[in-house]
Amino acid sequence: MNNELMATTASGIAWTIVYFVLVYRGIKDNSYGMPLVPLALNFAWETVFSMIYPPVATGLAGGVINAIWMVCDLGIIYNVF
């Protein structure tokens, strides 16, 4: 396993935990944990780089992580509206 793949996997796991906490706290507090504009930009970024231009260097792992984050963004979007 190369260093780039290890770093991508580690950051993917860490950020996925953050996303789950954002969704959980949003549901529990009946609020949202991320402002709308950064959320929209984040969702666009993750959509583009998981479906349209998947990362080449990290292969499947990078695309899967971006897709997981995109789905987590939907949970945050649900909390906003």
Q: pLDDT value at position 57?
A: 64
Please give the pLDDT value at position 47.
87
HEC profile of the chain: CCHHHHHHHHHHHHHHHHHHHHHHHHHHHCCCCCCHHHHHHHHHHHHHHHHHCCCCCCHHHHHHHHHHHHHHHHHHHHHHC
Give pLDDT, residue 64.
82
What pLDDT is attached to residue 38?
92
Q: What are the residue ranges in the chain where pLDDT is below 50? A: none
Confidence at residue 54, expressed as pLDDT on a 0 to 100 scale: 76
Residue 78: predicted pLDDT: 86
| The model scores a pTM over 0.85 | no
